[in-house]
Amino acid sequence: MPLRPLPEPVVHVGPGYVPPVDVRNERQICGADSHHKVLELDPRTGWVLPHWFCKRHVDHAERVAEQVREQNAAAPEPIPNRGGLLPAYFKVPWEDVYRHYAPANWKPPSYGLSADDWPDPGNPPPALLGAVVAGVIQHRTARTTRAEARDDHRRDKELEAVTAFAAAVAGHRRTMAVREGLQLDGASDEAFAEARAASHTSRSAIEAPKVLVSILVPSLTPAAEEAMRAVLALRGATDKATLDALREDAITAADRFVTAAPRHFA
């Protein structure tokens, strides 16, 4: 009995076919699900960088763990990269405050409570006025060309003016709220006079950064003007509810200024 002829072979690719570059082959990543985690601590900042390995490549996990052992032992405590803003702007016995509300095992961080005291981890800088800085860093990492790098100095000056203005406005908002609150409470003349003097100081502290903003970052002038107007409006509130509402408005206006800033630095 004759055998049935074999079917024609099926050719799926042409003779000149070259498989596309697969990043997993190219970089020798096996692509299996990760299972073993090795943590590397940045020797400069103490920040954690995880490395993952699959079950089949446990030997690599062990090799890398051995490689980073010494580095990890010598790494500094991680530099904080969030929080610390209230102590940067308001003088209060913060340690007592935190101790009161935190769990019993809370210890003050070794780098201090205020973001101003933290060491600069290089890039990114510590969180000062989170929104402005975070926005700028995002754009900064995206920028690479030299022409743009030349603008960095000016950009730093602008950023300095913007953060100084935002901080000064926040300071004046606080002293004005205190002063108007005392007025409404019918506080003693002496207490009110002191609060008024503080408000005059914080008021004049706004002037220089405001001028700088209007010169260096004219596109932010309207938002700055609005933030300033909202703070000055706290003056002469007729009752507590009005004062609270005006304070809320002032905070909103200041937030609007801060969120407008990263758009300028884009």
Segment contacting Zn ion by CB under 5 A, of 17-25, 55-63, 88-96, 112-120: 55-63
3-state secondary structure of 182: helix
* Whole-angstrom distance, CA of residue 124 vs CA of residue 77: 17
Which lies closer to Zn ion via its Cβ, residue 59 or residue 151? 59
Segment contacting Zn ion by CB under 5 A, of 25-33, 112-120, 168-176, 218-226: 25-33
Least distance to Zn ion, CB of residue 31, Å = 7
Binding test (CB under 5 A) with Zn ion, winner from 22, 24, 25, 30:
30
Which lies closer to Zn ion via its Cβ, residue 56 or residue 69? 56
- Helix or strand run (H / E) with residue 52: strand 48-53
Binding test (CB under 5 A) with Zn ion, winner from 32, 92, 193, 215:
32
Under 8 Å between Cβ of 155 and 265: yes
Least distance to Zn ion, CB of residue 62, Å = 13
> Does position 57 bind Zn ion by CB under 5 A?
yes
Least distance to Zn ion, CB of residue 4, Å = 45
Please, what sign has the CA dihedral across residues 251, 252, 255, 260? negative
Least distance to Zn ion, CB of residue 23, Å = 14
Both structure tokens of 258: 């801060």
* Whole-angstrom distance, CA of residue 71 vs CA of residue 50: 14
Residue 184 gets the label, from left (phi > 0), alpha (psi -120 to 50) or beta, of alpha
Which lies closer to Zn ion via its Cβ, residue 60 or residue 140? 60
Which lies closer to Zn ion via its Cβ, residue 4 or residue 27? 27
* Whole-angstrom distance, CA of residue 223 vs CA of residue 221: 6
Least distance to Zn ion, CB of residue 57, Å = 4
> Does position 54 bind Zn ion by CB under 5 A?
yes
Segment contacting Zn ion by CB under 5 A, of 49-57, 83-91, 127-135, 236-244: 49-57
Least distance to Zn ion, CB of residue 63, Å = 13
CA distances to 156, 211, 219 from 118, rounded to whole Å, are 19, 29, 32
> Does position 58 bind Zn ion by CB under 5 A?
no
Alpha helix positions (H), the chain: 23-26, 58-74, 86-89, 94-101, 130-142, 146-150, 152-185, 189-216, 221-232, 240-264
Q: Count the neighbouring beta carbons within 10 Å of the beta carbon of residue 66.
A: 10
Least distance to Zn ion, CB of residue 72, Å = 23
Segment contacting Zn ion by CB under 5 A, of 24-32, 160-168, 209-217, 249-257: 24-32
Residues that bind Zn ion (CB under 5 A): 30, 32, 54, 56-57
